[in-house]
Amino acid sequence: MTTSPNRPAVLVVDDLKDTADSLATVLDMMGYDTRVAYSPRQVGELVRSGFRPDAAVLDIDLGEQSGFDVARDLCAALGRRPMLVALTGYSSMEPRARREGFDHYFLKPAEPRDVAGVLPAAS
């Protein structure tokens, strides 16, 4: 699986499937090359299969591993840092998200167009 050269690649990671799927569907319709992972393990599988996201929208509370850990692992696996966007239900986590290198922070439920507004421009 390779990313499309004309569409910014976005990885959406959330253990709540409806949340992840609905955001990914809207981003796809807006012109993004979007993939979804419901667990940290699936993030690794996507990267190993060749998906190279330009941006990652990560839930902070993923159960088995935090979104902070996933962000660190993703950056290490890619050998670079994609844009990192937190999408979470925890308002108290914004200071930590900023310290951990997240570029943007949204509270659930966030409007998909607001999330798309901070992502690399889709053609």
Q: Which residues of 97-114 are buried (b: 16+ CB within 10 A; e: fewer)?
A: beebebebbbeeebebee
The pLDDT tens digits of the residues spanning 15-69 come to 999 999 999 999 999 999 999 999 999 999 999 999 999 999 999 999 889 999 9
Residues 83-88, mean pLDDT to the nearest whole number: 96
In a 3-state reduction of DSSP, which class is residue 40?
helix
Beta-sheet strands, E only, within 42-81: 55-58
Residue 94 clears pLDDT 50, i.e. is over it: yes
**pLDDT, the chain, mean:** 92
Domains and CATH numbers, the chain: 9-114 (3.40.50.2300)
Helices and strands (H, E) in the chain, number of each type = 5, 5
pLDDT, residue 2, reads 47
Q: How far apart are CA 61 and CA 67, in angstroms?
A: 6
- Rounded Cα–Cα distance for residues 97 and 6 (Å): 30
Q: Report how far residue 9's alpha carbon sits from residue 88's, in angstroms, rounded to the nearest whole number.
A: 21
Q: How large a percentage of the chain has pLDDT more than 70? A: 95
- What confidence score (pLDDT) does residue 123 get? 62
> pTM here?
0.92
